[in-house]
Each structure stands twice: as C-alpha cells, then as structure tokens.
Structure 1
C-alpha cells in the first residue's frame, strides 16, 4: 500500500472512538515500507495524539509511541507536535527521550521546552502537573 493511502487512513482516525484500533494494522503496513517512505507517517501518527481527548487512555496509544520511536529520527516532528498541541503522549515521549540521556535535539533543549510550556496558562492543570513532574525529575539539583 502506498504511504499516501496510509497517511489518509491515519488522518481519518478519531482516537476517541473505535477507529483508534485501526492504528496497529496501519503501523504494521508502514513498517513494511522503505524507511524514507515510512518516516512520512511520523507527523500523522503524532497528530493522533493531538486529536485525543485529555485523560483518554487506551493501550493502543503505546503502539503509536513505539511505532514512532521505531522509525527513528522523529525528534523534529515531535518538537513541532509539542509546540503545536502539547498533550500527555507527546510530552511522555519527550520524557522518554530525557530518560535516555539525550538532553537536546539541534537547537532545542528538551528541559527548556518543558519549562517554557509550564508557563502556558492555557494548559490544563493535568498537563501542567505532568510537565512539572518531568521538570522535577530531570532538573539537576
């Protein structure tokens, strides 16, 4: 299947209903593609998180995280996603990068990005608490 069709399928997913369960099979098809083609799916996968209602949890969301991480070189798209629409899952991915010991990507310092987001009064108390926890965990004493 062509990447454009898979991207259209990803863009059609409503992560707040049963269409979310289609993502596993789409990710499997993406992994069968040439790496340069497969990487085109990173942004549409991240946008699924951006369309997700806050406090919505489903195990398939971990498939998306692992799917993105498996494609490698996703950091630039992740930073754009966090700046566009911070949410529990793209912030979790930033935390996972920090856990790995990587503190920055190109000119973006991940901890500084989190600190800047923490000043955003438009974020929900839930997200602000998540961000604060990541900042506390990764700040040097």
Structure 2
C-alpha cells in the first residue's frame, strides 16, 4: 500500500466508532515505508485526535501517540494541531515533551503555549483543568 492510500484511510477514520481500530494496522504499515514518505501521515494522525469526542478513551489512542513519537521530528505538526484544535491527546504530547526536559521547539515555548491556551474561553473546563495541571507541574523550580 502506498502513502496516499494510507493517508486516505487515516482521513476516513471516525475515532468515535469502530473504525478507530484500523489505526494500529495502518501505523504498522507506515513504519514499513521510507521514513520520509511515512512522515506525511503525521498530520492525518493528529487530525484523528482533533475529530475525537472529548473524554473518549480507548487504548488504541496510545498507539497513535507512540506511532507519531516514533517518527521523531513531529513537533511542527503537533504545534499546528494544538493551535488548530487543542485536545487532551495533543496536549498530553506537549506534556510528554516537557517531561523529557525539552522546553521549546523553534520559536514555540511549550509552557507559554499552555499558558496562552489556558486563557482561551472557548476551551472546556476539562481541557483547562488538564492544561492547568501541566502548567503547575512544569512551572515548579
């Protein structure tokens, strides 16, 4: 299967129904491709999180996180996803980066990004609480 077909499959997934379970096999196929080609799927993987209903949990979502992290150099797409549609999974990935000791990427300071998001009145209380926890954890000396 080529990258275009895999991206089409990712774009067709409704993460709120059974089609979410197709992700594991797609990620396996992506990791068999040339890394340059496979990285084209990072954006569509983030968009799965963006289509997810808030509070929906399924273990396969961790497969997406680990799949994206396995590509390395995903931070541009992560920041774009957070700016487009902050959700518990792309924010969790920001937290994981901060846990690793990395504070910024290019011109984006991760903690400042979280603080700016925390003031967004359009975010749910659930997301604001998640963000507040990350801010508290990483603002400590």
Same fold (TM over 0.5): yes
Question: How far apart in 2 are the matches of 1:113 and 1:7?
Answer: 28
Question: How far apart in 2 are the matches of 1:54 and 1:43?
Answer: 19
Question: How far apart in 1 are the matches of 2:140 and 2:52?
Answer: 32
Structure 2 residue ranges without an equivalent (≥5): none
Q: Which residue of 2 aligns with 1:106?
A: 106
- What does 1:9-24 align with in structure 2 at a 5 Å threshold? 9-24=9-24
Please provide the CA RMSD for this pair: 0.5
Deviations 1:28-56 (A, max 9, x none): 00000000001000000000000000000
| Cα shift at 1:96 | 0.1
| Cα shift at 1:140 | 3.1
Q: Which residue of 1 aligns with 2:42?
A: 42
Query: Per the alignment, in what secondary structure is the counterpart of residue 112 of structure 2?
Result: helix
Q: How many residues get paired?
A: 141
Q: Which residue of 1 aligns with 2:119?
A: 119
- What does 1:118-137 align with in structure 2 at a 5 Å threshold? 118-137=118-137
TM-score (norm 2): 0.99
| Cα shift at 1:25 | 0.2
Structure 1 residue ranges without an equivalent (≥5): none
TM-score (norm 1): 0.99
| Cα shift at 1:105 | 0.2
